[in-house]
Structure 1
């Protein structure tokens, strides 16, 4: 199994993205977390290494190439998570997001089947956003 820094480099190569220190570090952070991260989360963890615009451009480039997807969570913040395609797992463009009301983390639930949606023939669905709210396993266990 590759180390996260090596995985980050492999992702940049696979998606034909230029290798920069910011891109490597952002991917490394996303690979280290099993939940989505907001721009502000990334800023806190990266410190003052990169300015706000560089970080936004990095996330925009990742999203445009399909490396990450954005999630509007219950707080109104936009968060970013690695796309399943980037993780070499089954491709799930449409999946459920779970927002924990206790810790504020947002998780991609790729293993949960998305219900079939029947729309009138005049409409073509390109992307479906489903979200659930409640308490995650970690928070539920700390309450017990």
Structure 2
């Protein structure tokens, strides 16, 4: 199983280390995005700077994407296998106002916006807020 995660890292140009494999496994096992605090709770005695460096490396290599869902904590989620984090790869996120979990709605692309001349697209963040199915019960 570790070799699968090592391959994922290597395919993105990331050197597999024990910490990177652990973080990737944790992100892979979640159905919702995770904050740095969430990750700290999963790993005892791991320094926050180590987690930040790992997440920054993952983001720089398009393995994860950051989500600013307005909750006050940036969250992280795995990208699709062929994601390059360009406009055509971006998708909508959903923040549950009850449980505060953020979900990637990967089948719903971020709407296209025609920018005025001389404006250059860098990134987009589209968050819908409401109640998730689990909390709706």
Normalising by structure 2, we get a TM-score of: 0.89
1:1-144 to 2 correspondences below 5 Å: 3=1, 5-48=2-45, 50-85=46-81, 92-141=88-137
Separation of aligned partners in 1, 2:47 and 2:56: 14
Deviations 1:48-92 (A, max 9, x none): 1x21111111011111111111111221101110012368xxx95
Q: Which moved more, 1:57-66 or 1:105-114?
A: 105-114
Contact 1:84 1:92 in 2 (8 A): no
Q: Count residues with an aligned counterpart.
A: 134
Q: Measured at CA, do residues 70 and 120 of structure 1 come closer, stay the same or move farther in structure 2, by a change above 3 Å?
A: same
Superposition CA RMSD, Å: 1.8
What 5-or-longer segments of structure 1 have no aligned partner? none
Q: Measured at CA, do residues 54 and 86 of structure 1 come closer, stay the same or move farther in structure 2, by a change above 3 Å?
A: farther
What 5-or-longer segments of structure 2 have no aligned partner? none
SS of 1:70's equivalent in the other structure is strand
